[in-house]
A and B are shown apart, each in its own frame.
Chain A
């Protein structure tokens, strides 16, 4: 079997006396989606920054195509085909879609090295269409696009500029339910085009439908990397929310002693289509139920 596109082995990182990441391993294969899940402060951003070349790891190995590397910076990562789409996006709201699409890598033509506008517009339109992104007009300012459309344009841009590994930093967290579904569809589309995708999120309901592999982080350490057939959505949600911790919380908050998350959804959840229609946080895990129950009862 060909080596994975990207692999991290026992990666660790400390900032002064703070251990941000310890012994985390993960792998990304072409045409697969690896989801990185974790609560705030779990070490997700540190891991992305190491993968995208912003930081270098202090311990462990970082392998690309099976060869250990040490990235000198984000530019080197990009040159090796690792593109990162950050949550706050490198997009200029007042500029048109096609100008944004080629920003920093404008195609030039002619003796005056003019910006080949016709080519830029055509390619932007074609690439967006190839990703199934239905933009009304590439001349419209990016600021008039919805959050999901902007994420999608950023993904299409990374794909066009030769990304082999696409790292998406919480692309769905600021979005409404429908928009999140749209972005999940483009993640699947990028995967189908043979890219290895790293999808960072804290929402297991967004991760489960598209993920092939799930890395769970908690307080800087790995809770394990699971293949899709080795874990159910409920287990994922429960692990994500801190499993035992949540059970304890349930006990603490509920004097009548109804233990643990409500198992109401059962197996139905697994058959749900990839549409992201489910409101985040409303599924398994029992957080809403806890929230609604008055403590003074």
Chain B
């Protein structure tokens, strides 16, 4: 009886992870799983571990499953789409309690290096504060600002700028 409940729970967990993975921009399958960590003959003691489901290896969380949070020019307040993205990211973090993240704040190229460095940190902090308010423990979250130093789009128009004004989640440990 008990084992059946466990099995059902396992299926539900696996299914929800697959759903979550499906929502991400890239399928999780693309992430390379380090096979060399497993010796040719698996030691028996790992099999006796309680973590029987293979979610830890197959469904390892990847950075690009986190949604990127975008901002308006010279602003660090969260737009509705930013909140939606952060709520998604918070769900990912809840499902992966061992994952810690670094939230990077970025800016577009307009304005000075110095001001943008501070603005980028405010963006990262806005994102972090909202994630915390959704129940994620502060100890799992760190922030850094790269100001305007690491653009993803290199054009000098609003289309590029909009892509660069962002808060990006990167995994620091899992």
> Do chains A and B stick together as partners?
no
Question: A interface vs B, CB < 8 Å?
Answer: none
